[in-house]
Each structure stands twice: as structure tokens, then as C-alpha cells.
Chain A
Amino acid sequence: MQTRRETLKQTAVVAGLLASAGFPQFAHAAFNKAAFDAKSVQDAAKAAGATSMAESKDVTITGPDIAENGAVVPLGASTALPGVKQLLIMVEKNPAALVAMFHVTDAVEANFSTRAKMGQSSDVYAVAIMNDGKALWAKKEVKVTLGGCGG
């Protein structure tokens, strides 16, 4: 694990880079450690700024029904709703639920895809955190199967 000194040093590097790159409008690009350390979907959303949570048909989570391998599971989150601040992709049963947090700006569509590791079959979530702090989510189940001979 990281030592405290390394963490401090790294924070300094990050701060330095941000300053030199002149990124002030992207202040939120600083890593939200609390959200990524949170175990549950709820706690991660809260750490990302959510004040309430509700299921919504206006948020979409995409992913396979079955993943042949948990090491690489293609997941996507999208919404057409206006006023979205962040889109989060989460895997409920991972040691820490939050996989990726996308910041929504006027310059990009609220539609992001990446690939996640999954330790086991689990519900996966797309969570849209709105400007007013409301979090709207959608989920689907992804089964992770055992592949080839090894296991």
C-alpha cells in the first residue's frame, strides 16, 4: 500500500500539474478518493455529491447479460436528461462499487463507455447525479461465468 509520504508527495505533484496546466475550470478533476473508497453504491454516490437517490427510466446502463470473463466487462452509462453533472458506473458487489465517474459538460454527450473488472456476478449501475444533487439510477444484472479449464 501507499505510504502517507507518497500520498502527500503525489498530491503535491497533482496540484502542481493542475496549476501549471491552468485547469481551474476543471477543479472537479481532482481525484475524489472518498467516492472511490466507498464500499456501497449509495455511499459512493453520496461521496460524489448525491443528496437523494431514485430509480429512473431516463438513465440507461448498458452491458452484457453474461460476461465470459470478469476481467473485462463492457459497461456504458447514458442519459438524455438535461442538468446532469456526473455519470457514474458502478458494480455493486465489487470491493469498492465505483468504477468510473464521468463529468458531463456542454461539450460532450452524456454517454460514456468503458470496461470494468467484476469479481463475481452482480448488479451494475449507471447513476446520474443532477445539478441539484438528486441521483437517478438504473441497474442491470451481469452474470460472470467461469471460462476455460483452469478453475
Chain B
Amino acid sequence: MKKASTLSIATVLALCAAPVMAQKTASQGIDEYRAMLQDGNPADLFEAKGEDLWKKVRGPKNASLEKCDLGKGPGVVKGAFVELPKYFADTQKMQDLESRLVTCMETLQGFNAAEISKTAFGRGEMSNVTALATWIAAESKGLRFNLSQAHAQEKTFYEVGKRLFFQRGGPHDFSCASCHGEEGKRIRLQDLPILTKNPGDGVGFAAWPAYRVSNGQMWSMQLRLNDCYRQQRFPYPGFASDATVALATYLGVNAKGAASVAPAIKR
């Protein structure tokens, strides 16, 4: 069987059980193509921008984000990414990385969180949130996902996320599970990670934020989920809404033990 992995090209080549010869050649070609792009991931550009934004004095309160508590104490960046989403006592809610960043931008820097959340992806402060998330994720590269399920809300959000994952709807009756519920499947030539369990290192939840070569955009996890819902023909999930955080909790808990490669480079 084929194991979905954009990283271990050799593994894919070796394990790729393609039905016809022409197909095999094509997928080998695609794997070579992906390998060629690994060196020189433009996500580096966003990572650099994010680091700069973290340290820069900005906003109405003229402050940096260096005191932001991402869950491991004020200013601790390394390791935070692989433990999110989690429950935060100060806001009394479940937050993912982006939701938490927006909270810090409001409390520390004086930005308007609601305004940022309403901003389209890639625009204004939202593009800064994405760059920040890219850098923070990069600081946990190689670390393994290990979300807490200690707090009652963390458990509840996992359960809600599971229900969202299997929620069929829209004109096509699609749920997340339609595409990500079985191992070794593809849409067109695109490998689909199974997301009901740990899909492996650097796959699925452990690959985003990622740079998308198709449109030259840096995609955060929020945008990844948003676009999945778009293609599912679902209505629009609010940025950092409870549904997206619950779904991310389900995916993150399932990814326990997977090493993060974010920021990755994707089609």
C-alpha cells in the first residue's frame, strides 16, 4: 500500500503500488518534482518576517509580542506549536495558535482582535498572524505533537471536533472523513493523509503552516481548514471559531507522536 508522504520521497517510490505502469511513472515524476522543491522553500521568507514581527514594537500600545504566553509561559516559543490547541485559563477558552496570537496582539499590542479575525487571509494584520504562526511553528520543527487532554474543555473540544470531522453536509454530502477517513487514498494525484489517527511524521496536521506553490501563498492551519470546508461546499467557518479550534483539537490529538515539519512546501 502507499503511504501518504510528501517528505520521504524514497519511501513513496518504494511503496507506491500503482495500478498501471504509466501511472507509476507519473507519480515517480511528481515525486522527483516535489524533491526538487524541497531545497528553497519560500516559507523561509514568511518565517523571517514572523520572527521580526514577534520582536518588533508595534500596535497602539507600542509593544512587542515577546511576553506572549503561547501555553508554555510568557515568551516561550519553542515547543508551543506542538501542544496547541489547548485550554487557556486567562481567556477561559480553547485556543489554537492563531487564535492565541490574536489574543496576544490585542492584550499586549492593543490591536483589535475582532477586526483582525474579520480580515481576509493574506491581508493586513491577518498576513502578519500567518507569518507569526509560520515562525512559531518553525521553532518546533522536529518536535512531536503532544496535545493536552487534561482539562475538561480539552476533552469536550476533542469530542466536538470528532463530530465535526464526520459531519456530512452540503450538496455533495461531504465530511472531512470523505477524503481523510481511509489510508492511502488520493484526490487526483494528491495524496490524502488519514486524519483519524497519527498519519506519520510531517503529514497532515504536522505539515501546516505550509507554502503553497500553486498560488504562492503561505497557508496557516486556519486557512487550510477554511479551504477544506470551501471545497467540501460547506458555508464559511469563522476565523478561529470554536468549530475550527475543535476540529484542530481532534486532528492535533490524533497526531500525537507525529514529528512536525512545518512550515512545509505543498502543491
Contacts and interface: CB of A to CB of B under 8 A. Distances in A.
Contacts of B214: 69, 71-72, 147-148
Contacts of A66: 26, 29-30, 32-33
Interface string A126-137: 000000000000
A74 B36 contact: yes
Interface string A110-140: 0000010000000000000000000000000
Nearest to A147: B267
Interface in B23-82: 26, 29-30, 32-34, 36-37
Interface stretch (B124-132, B187-195, B197-205): B187-195
B169 interface: no
Contacts of B188: 146-149
Contacts of B15: none
B148 to A, nearest CB: 33
A72 B26 contact: no
Given A146-B188, A148-B267, A149-B187, A69 B213 contact: yes
Contacts of A71: 213-216
B227 to A, nearest CB: 10
Given A145-B189, A147-B214, A68 B30 contact: yes
Contacts of B29: 64-66, 143
B231 interface: yes
Nearest to A150: B231
Given A68-B267, A69-B214, A145 B26 contact: yes
Given A66-B33, A71-B214, A72-B37, A149 B267 contact: no
A100 to B, nearest CB: 15
Interface residues of A, number: 16
A65 B32 contact: yes
Nearest to B34: A68
Contacts of B26: 66, 145
Contacts of B267: 68-69, 147-148
Contacts of B189: 68, 145, 147
A23 B34 CA distance: 39
Nearest to B265: A72
29 contacts: A64-B29, A64-B32, A64-B36, A65-B32, A66-B29, A67-B33, A68-B30, A68-B33, A68-B189, A69-B214, A69-B267, A71-B213, A71-B214, A71-B215, A71-B216, A72-B37, A72-B214, A72-B216, A74-B36, A143-B29, A145-B26, A145-B30, A145-B189, A147-B189, A147-B190, A147-B214, A148-B190, A148-B267, A149-B188
